[in-house]
Every structure is written in C-alpha cells, then in structure tokens.
Amino acid sequence: MEQRLLLAVLLSLTVTAIQAKRDGKRLVCVQSVQVLRFEWENCGKPEAPAVLKTLSVAPDPITIPGALSAEASGATAVLLDSPLALNVTLEKEVAGFWVKIPCVEELGSCHYEDACELLEQLIPPGQDCPEPLHSYGLPCQCPFKAGSYALPKSDFFVPELELPYWLTNGHYRAQGVLGKEGSELGCIKVALALHSG
C-alpha cells in the first residue's frame, strides 16, 4: 500500500511493486508522485460477507513521499484465512478510452492465488503490525476474524516509491475481488490519477 485497511485500497499498486522487485523487473525511482482525485466504492454483491464501509484519505492531492491522514472501517461476517484468491483488474485511460492492462509476469490485471501470502511479503510472520495498527489492536496478517474493524483518523508518512516504468502518469482504475473456494467475499473499486515528477 501501509496500514491494514488503507492497504486494502492501495493493494493493487503494492502488489505491482512487490512482484516487480521479486522478479527483477525494471522499476523507475520517482522523486515525487502525486495521487489525485482518489475515489473508491464497494462493488460486491449485497450479500458479500466482507465490506469496506468507510474510507477517507487526505489531502488531495496526496504527495509521495509525504504525509497523509486516513480513517476507515470495515467488517467481515466470515473468517478470512489462507488461501484468499485476489483478482485484480487494472485499467488506464488512453485517448478517452479505458484500456485493460494485461497480466504480464504477474503485473497488471492478474489473479493471485493467495492475498495472505502477499501480506506476509509486506509484514513477515512474527513481526508486529506497524503503527497505528498495533496501538489499535488491528490485525495486518491472516487470519482476520469475523467482526468489525475501525481505524480512527490517523497520520502516516508514505516513503518514496519505485514504480514499474509503465505505471507513471495517467488516470487509472482498479478493481479487486476477494474470493475463497469459488465464492466472492468482497469487491472494491478504486480510481485515481498519478502524476510523477
């Protein structure tokens, strides 16, 4: 992404960075990235057991590296444990049309067998969750017990990013669908614009 619920929203970008580093793909170290017009919505079925209820992120634009504040709440009616399939669809606006970015070497619009493994790459097992998750008793690794989760308004510092060469300036939208054993657990859509310097 990171802080647990914020990670859920920024997961597609984080997954891209993790896979690129792991697979030795070409990354561009950007001095500054601005995230503008960040929007999100649930796209799951009404009976979906996992839902992000609220999310607010400020300022607009968000400058990376830099400070941001976020608050969020969500709930799951079922235990979320490994393996949790994650289907990501990533699109970029090109000349007024939305173009699906294909999955190439695990980057772009891809299917990931287990989102729990991705979380373990960010925060190894046995390591404490980062602040302020630790202080609020929020989990950052699987399993996530059934129940409600809330992150009060909190301030974060987002460090400098290394991005794949193709993920720089432009308007993007992403959809992430979480599932298990063929059943959809939840879905979220994110839209934003990136401007790198």
Which helix (H) or strand (E) covers residue 57, if one does? strand 50-58
Task: Report the Cα 103 to chain-centroid distance in Å.
Answer: 17
Domains and CATH numbers, the chain: 4-196 (2.70.220.10)
Helix (H, G, I), strand (E, B) or coil at 122: helix
Could you tell me if 7 and 86 are in contact, meaning their C-beta atoms sit under 8 angstroms apart?
no
Could you tell me the pLDDT band of residue 150, with boundaries at 50, 70 and 90? very high
Q: What does the buried/exposed string (b/e) look like for 72-100 if buried means 16 or more CB atoms within 10 Å of the residue's CB?
A: bebebeeebeeebbbebbbbbeeeeeeee
How far is the C-alpha of 101 from the C-alpha of 46, rounded, in Å? 28
Task: Write the pLDDT tens digit of every residue in 74-99.
Answer: 999 999 999 999 999 999 999 999 99
How far is the C-alpha of 164 from the C-alpha of 82, rounded, in Å? 28
Which residue bears the tokens 């990931």? 112
Q: What's the pLDDT at 183?
A: 92
Task: Write the pLDDT tens digit of every residue in 4-36.
Answer: 333 333 333 344 344 444 444 455 555 688 899
